[in-house]
Amino acid sequence: MMQDAFWGILIPFLGTSLGAGCVFFLKKSLSDGIQRALTGFAAGVMVAASVWSLLIPAMEQAADLGRLAFFPAAVGFWLGILFLLLLDHLIPHLHQNSLQAEGPKSQLQRTTMMVLAVTLHNIPEGMAVGVVYAGYLAGTAQITAAGALALSLGIAIQNFPEGAIISMPLRAEGMKKGRAFWGGVLSGIVEPIGAVLTILAAGIVVPALPYLLSFAAGAMLYVVVEELIPEMSQGQHSNVGTVFFAVGFSVMMVLDVALG
């Protein structure tokens, strides 16, 4: 079981690293259309994962509360939203294609703030993987090894474009290829760290599992609505992002139901 969890936690990080490796093979940055498609796909995966892999299991776990089974899911969800809202205000970061940095004023370089922006939204993904594996290891949740693996694979698939989307602009900002690659890799390192910390936390407080599952869902949906949807809808012909949102959503749904 521990071995399953170990690999499950590493898979999403490998996705980011492989994506960051695109910097060695692609001459110039990704076109707007491709970026929109990849961002839409990532958003679709995250929304489907939030519902099937996190919120529904959170309610199933709280089934003994009867009509109030929604309570831990609703509370955890809001805590996740507020947690990311707080991080957004505390950490200086710069979204791609945006000229204005967010968070407190700082003297950080543009490239550092771009890495911080991606790192910020990788935190909930790491937590999501961690809490699903915590449920699997605890054996109390109705979470199978295959269900946990489905979430890991889904997040790894959407991390691949994220790795490319961070390392390519870093290269475009004038960084050497090697440094741009490590920038992409570093933005993903918070995922396995977040996953391990979440597993440890859930191990200490097993009754908190429904809250943690929905906390990760709230945090992921915050990222989708605050960042990914605006990015995929920028400029003309934004239907590309919408179509790929649907593709990502259905891929994650199929993975979760077929494997789970």
- pLDDT score at 260: 65
Residues 5, 129: Cα–Cα separation, whole Å = 9
Tokens of 239: 């239907």
Alpha helices, DSSP H, located in 97-140? 110-138
pLDDT digits (tens, 9 = 90+) for 70-124: 999 999 999 999 999 998 888 888 776 676 788 888 877 877 887 788 888 788 8
Give the residue-averaged pLDDT of 23-31.
77
Give the residue-averaged pLDDT of 231-244.
81
Question: What integer best gives the mean pLDDT of the chain?
Answer: 85
pLDDT higher than 80, residue 216: yes
Helix pair 145-172, 2-20: axis angle to 10 deg:
20
- pLDDT score at 141: 60
Which SS3 state, helix, strand or coil, does residue 93 take? strand
Q: Which residue has the tokens 């939204």?
A: 121
Residues 85, 101: Cα–Cα separation, whole Å = 15
Q: Which of 154-163, 208-217, 239-248 has the lowest mean pLDDT?
A: 154-163
- pLDDT score at 228: 86
Cβ atoms of 191 and 126 closer than 8 Å: yes
